Structure 1
Amino acid sequence: MTLNIARELANQPAQRLPIYDANSLTDGGSLANIQLGEQVYTLRITRAGKLILTK
């Protein structure tokens, strides 16, 4: 990222991003499939409470 782009982004008002609960996405389990276009990804919640997204 160039310095000019970074400055432009810093001067823009903060955008509200959607928040999704990972436990809801996995229906209380530890795995969920997420589709983006034709690709399907697997979201996994580890025992340590971290998220892993794999293709």
Structure 2
Amino acid sequence: MTATRPSEFTRPATSILARIPQHDATELTRGGNQAMILLDDQVYQLRITRAGKLILTK
């Protein structure tokens, strides 16, 4: 006998992800490797490393 899951567990994960805003880091940096991000009165620096990783610092 195979158990079935409730419908809330069978929805594809993409439906949840589709509601989260997505931003391309290269667009945020305008093709460069750094961007400043403001949150309230705080300024954060987003940096794309040579290895293609993201670093966010205050």
TM-score (normalised: structure 1): 0.73
Structural RMSD (CA): 1.8
Q: Runs of 4+ in structure 1 displaced over 6 angstroms? A: none
**Residue in structure 2 matched with residue 40 of structure 1 by the alignment:** 43
The 3-state SS of whatever aligns with 1:14 is: helix
| Structure 1, unaligned runs of 5 or more | 1-9
TM-score (normalised: structure 2): 0.70
**Residue in structure 1 matched with residue 16 of structure 2 by the alignment:** 14
Query: Highest CA radius of gyration, 1 or 2?
Result: 2
| Structure 2, unaligned runs of 5 or more | 1-7, 10-14
CA distance in 2, matches of 1:50, 1:28: 15
Count of residues paired in the alignment: 45
C-alpha deviations, 1:12-55, integer Å up to 9, x for none?
x7251011000000000000000000000000000000000000
